[in-house]
Chain A
Amino acid sequence: MNPQGERWTTDQVLALAPDEASRKASGRLAAPGPWSETGADGSAVWGLCKGSGKKPYQAVVDFKGPAFTCSCPSFKFPCKHALGLLLLWAGDEGAVAAGEPPQWAGEWLAARRERAERSAAGPSGAAATRAPADPEAARRRAERRMQRIGAGAMELEQRLADLLQSGLATAGREGGGSQADGGGGRSWDETAARMVDAQAPGLASRVRELGSVVASGADWPARLLEECALLHLLEQGFLGIDRLPAPLAATVRARVGLTTDAADLLTGPDAAPVRDRWLVLAQQDGDDGRLTTRRIFLRGERTGRMALHLSFAGANRPLELALPTGLVIDADLAYYPGARPLRATLGERYAPATPGPVPPGCGIDAALAAYGDALRDDPWLDSWPVVLADVTPIPGRDGRGWQLADADGESALPLDPRCLGGTGVWQLAAISGGAPITVFGECGHRGFLPLTAWDPSPVSL
């Protein structure tokens, strides 16, 4: 046991893996066989892993961060050796003996700590070097970008107006025939590319979504109209952004695709970090082939506020943050500005993460009310994160969808159809066994998307 009394679970370690292959490969290295000179102290674990070459690989993991290093040539990060070492350490208390780091591990660890202390001592250092940039030039750049986005929004407005004028049915014929998007109008993908050119990635991704709605499923005209209307609302918001209250204007800006520098949120003049004990409710990785997106949901113990931390990485690149589900971190979070802040960036962490409790939750009425309430501030929200307590999964049978039923047994929340393909819902049913359980997920207009269930230890779905 290390001094913090903190030992990660296998799930937590596996959550760090960059892809499925490393997850499996590391599972095979999680045995004493290939390892030698392993050791751990309160803050790090290290070991030599026999590979195919003569010289064994030197793997070191710093729990703070966590950070990894390994002498293997793998371009994956963390590599399977680092993961295997962590699994070995996590799986069996006796497998890795306590000790002092050998030289090859100690050097790296010391360098890391030194760097950490330096940046802690002078947090303004980085900001100071950036400050001398010409503020006037920056302002002009920003203005030009606003103009380009405005032009893009106008163009898109025209595109939507044309569509509504000739009718969605025509879009259905075009989209339904083939994905070639031929015919009269410009294709959605083409329009999306125009929005990328206009430096409005938020608009671009919404337009791409429109393309996938057309002629998909029974009620596609209604869904297409919904998405077109919300896109129209966003453009109108952007075109009239000067007349919006500041928080709503920030929401519109973020939704259009204008980013805020995370460092400014923590250290800028308007920085308002929230310190709390944050429970990690879920950590989910999405992968669209080019980009891995990691979403970490947190909830503050004291404030009760939900937060969403996003990190992105190109294929096979490390994700900046790994927070296994179920841990509690005492840390600063700074929310991105908006009418309904949710996205946040992580600031200073005051203590090592510790295993957290089963979170308290609400019922189904309250969950729907929370989503409705959030929509009041941000009409573009597809869902809002909630912890449901005492809900019973009802498996879908005979064409009826899955539900989560309330403790009273009468009202229920349908599960989001997107979750039905995987094993997640079956894990939900298995954990429940027909009895009420606690589930975290996103409650939205498509239904409830479960992400974590407690059995009572957290299980990622």
Chain B
Amino acid sequence: MARHEGRGMASVNYPIGMNLGGDPSQALIHSNPEGKFTVALSAIDLGQGMKQVSRQIAAETLGVPIEDVFVDTADSDTGPHDMGSFASRGTHRMGNAVIAAAREARGVLLDAAAEELEVNAADLVTDGRGNIHVRGAPSKTITVKATAQAAQFKQGKTIAGRGIFLIPLSAVDAETGEMNPNTAFAHAALVADVSVDDETGEVEVLRMTSAYELGRVINPRMVEQQLVGGAWMGISHALYETPEPYYPNPDHGPRDFNEYLMPGPGDVAPYHVTVLERPAPDGPFGGKGPGEMCANPVLPAIANAVYNAVGVRVDELPITPEKILRGIRANGGVKPGPRRGGPVNWR
């Protein structure tokens, strides 16, 4: 009786946004008389960071400090229409709408500054710290605050912008499935190292190593949060969870977290993620979206690692100890696969 280590991998891609398009997002941005901006949306922050992604994109496009931008979402009286937070669409669709709105607001901001400085607006740049100055002549300058005050009380200008982003809806061919499904795809590959106990059938995920290509990373901390949290969900899907343990028999459904199996803190594996950025041509600053795909490669990588460890293919999720032990018995014993590589290149 022994524990057997195994290694498996999987590689995937993932479409960004609703399949076929037709899923618009709108954004409104306005400044108060002090040059502080509010972004009004009806996007939903489920914990993934929708507010912060919108905020960083708005601040970058406006050219103002991030502290001067807050995002207000979601109130149907003030936030314009958005399809919703699903289908990995938030960063891509809403990010583009926020850029559109912020560009328009920036245009008015620079017009107002140009009028105060008596220069051409095309010659103005922002320093991202709250100042607007003439390109190449930093001394010819005005603050965003002074500009906003002049716009409101002197010039009568609204420093505001509207934005929408819409990929027009695609048709689908009934006979061939031809369609325009999506414009941006993210990518990933993941290696899982597991240990399988041939006496109990239990699987321990020892560590995971992955590479994700996500287009432009808007906020690396939030990407990390998504990918690590999603990998935990992947372990959980692969080895533990289901409300119908004997599917398609519907009986024995769990009623609470005592009966519904999920990995606990002791089952969380060390995880290393490398992020690549190939910007999406139509993404906000090239951004795609890591929201959904982060669990996907974990399931098959673990299944393949279990096979590599003990020679059992479990093709029905979750991979329970019972299925592994039955598989070992059917095979007449443990049949380990070839060793693949050495210790990982990270700590």
Q: Answer yes or no: do A and B interact.
A: no
Residues of A within 8 A of B (CB): none
